[in-house]
């Protein structure tokens, strides 16, 4: 063996040994090291940090929510880069309000959260298991919901202490708003609807349509026997508001196709329609509530106006308070 060959083999063995040592070294620390690289800090807020993984998780949630609204309204989604900036600002504001709540000693107990969940179940008319199933379909857990409720209660109490106690809406302001916006208090009847939509496949045969109708009749039978419309909508509907139990909010006759409006108009609050056939599929409707049409008098409208003006002023002053809090805080963004 000549000296050159020997040297090459020696070098190769040294490289191999060093490589193996590095692999063994990073086998113990690889996850931590990778996490430090991937989960870098994107913002510092008064000593607290926001990581890239937090930002990405929140951005995904915001994006899915906005996508669902876009499907319902037809409005385009903003560019993802702009969305991430919005979400990061939201997370910064969230950190600031959490810090301020802690400074002021504002707390939320488990009982507060339990009460809020019980009220939610009562308002939606669903069971705890139906709530859990609905959360699961959205990629969430009950713990996620509890954390959201805790944050909302904490934020509400902070706003109440920082802003609400200083707001007064006068009778003159209420009356002035009514006179300037009378057209807003003349409206048609509106229905608060839940919808289950079962679409036909592309180029459906008569057999395809019959199978969809059979499913619609099966669901109607279950609903007549007391099944939850919201739960069935989450499971079967492929239409708007499916993740919200088919809830599409308040709609007027003008918002619906005349063929569909005819069936909905025959329902009373709590009523569920027969399966309604269209070219695209079959609908089932439930009317949760009916807002009667007509013009509201000042006496009928004044409480609504007072609450509206109050909430507007709360939002205005809260944003001013938050901007002032930002100015008084140390915030560094590394996006």
% the chain with pLDDT above 70: 86
Domains in the chain: boundaries? 3-38, 189-292
pLDDT > 80? residue 309: yes
Q: Region 295-306: what's the mean pLDDT?
A: 90
pLDDT by residue (tens digit) across 94-133?
999 999 999 999 999 999 999 999 999 998 889 999 999 9
Return the pLDDT at 15: 39
The mean pLDDT value for 10-30 works out to 39
Q: What is the pLDDT of residue 170?
A: 95
Please say if the pLDDT value at position 259 is more than 90. Answer: no
Q: What's the mean pLDDT in 324-332?
A: 96
* Degrees, nearest 5: CA angle 228-233-239: 160
pLDDT of 100 reads 94
User: CA-to-CA distance for 57 and 259, rounded, in angstroms?
Assistant: 42
- The whole-number average pLDDT for the span 27-37 is 42
| pLDDT for the residue numbered 68 | 66
For residue 306, pLDDT over 50 is answered with: yes
**Domain 189-292, what fold?**
Chitinase A; domain 3 (3.10.50)
How many angstroms separate the first and last alpha carbons of the chain?
58
Q: What is the CA radius of gyration of the chain?
A: 28
pLDDT at residue 14 above 60?
no
Residue 320: per-residue pLDDT: 93
At 49-101, the pLDDT tens digits run: 999 999 998 888 888 777 766 555 445 677 777 788 999 999 999 999 999 99
The pLDDT confidence band at residue 184, using thresholds 50, 70 and 90, is: confident
Of the pLDDT bands very low, low, confident and very high (cuts 50, 70, 90), residue 198 is: very high
Mean pLDDT, residues 196-223 taken together: 94
pLDDT of residue 29: 39
Q: What is the mean pLDDT of the chain?
A: 84
Q: What percent of the chain has pLDDT over 90?
A: 58
Residue written as tokens 């990405």?
Answer: 56
pLDDT on residue 71: 54
Task: Answer with the residue of higher pLDDT: 39 or 12.
Answer: 39
């Amino acid at each position: 063996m000549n000296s050159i060959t020997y040297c090459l083999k020696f070098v190769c063995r040294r490289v191999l040994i060093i490589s193996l040592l590095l692999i063994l070294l990073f086998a113990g620390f690889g996850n931590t090291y990778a996490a430090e690289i991937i989960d870098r800090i994107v913002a510092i807020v008064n000593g607290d940090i926001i990581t890239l993984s937090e930002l990405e998780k929140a951005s995904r949630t915001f994006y899915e929510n906005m996508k669902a609204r876009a499907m319902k309204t037809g409005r385009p989604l903003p560019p993802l880069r702009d969305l991430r900036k919005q979400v990061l600002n939201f997370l910064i504001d969230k950190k600031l309000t959490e810090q301020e709540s802690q400074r002021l000693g504002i707390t939320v107990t488990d009982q507060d959260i339990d009460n809020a969940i019980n009220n939610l179940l009562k308002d939606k008319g669903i069971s705890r298991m139906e709530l859990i199933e609905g959360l699961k379909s959205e990629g969430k857990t009950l713990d996620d919901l509890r954390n959201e409720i805790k944050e909302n209660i904490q934020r509400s109490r902070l706003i109440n202490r920082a802003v609400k106690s200083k707001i007064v809406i006068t009778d003159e302001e209420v009356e002035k708003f009514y006179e300037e916006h009378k057209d807003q208090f003349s409206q048609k009847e509106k229905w608060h609807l839940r919808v289950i939509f079962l679409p036909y496949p592309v180029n459906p045969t008569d057999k395809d349509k019959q199978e969809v109708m059979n499913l619609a009749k099966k669901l109607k039978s279950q609903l007549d026997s007391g099944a939850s419309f919201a739960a069935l909508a989450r499971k079967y509907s492929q239409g708007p508001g499916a993740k919200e139990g088919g809830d599409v909010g308040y709609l007027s006759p003008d918002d619906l196709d005349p063929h569909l409006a005819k069936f909905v108009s025959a329902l009373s609050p709590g009523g569920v329609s027969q399966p309604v056939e269209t070219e695209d599929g079959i609908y089932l409707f439930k009317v949760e509530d009916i807002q009667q049409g007509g013009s509201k008098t000042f006496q009928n409208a004044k409480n609504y106006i007072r609450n509206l003006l109050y909430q507007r002023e709360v939002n205005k002053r809260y944003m001013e308070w938050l901007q002032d809090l930002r100015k008084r805080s140390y915030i560094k963004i590394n996006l």
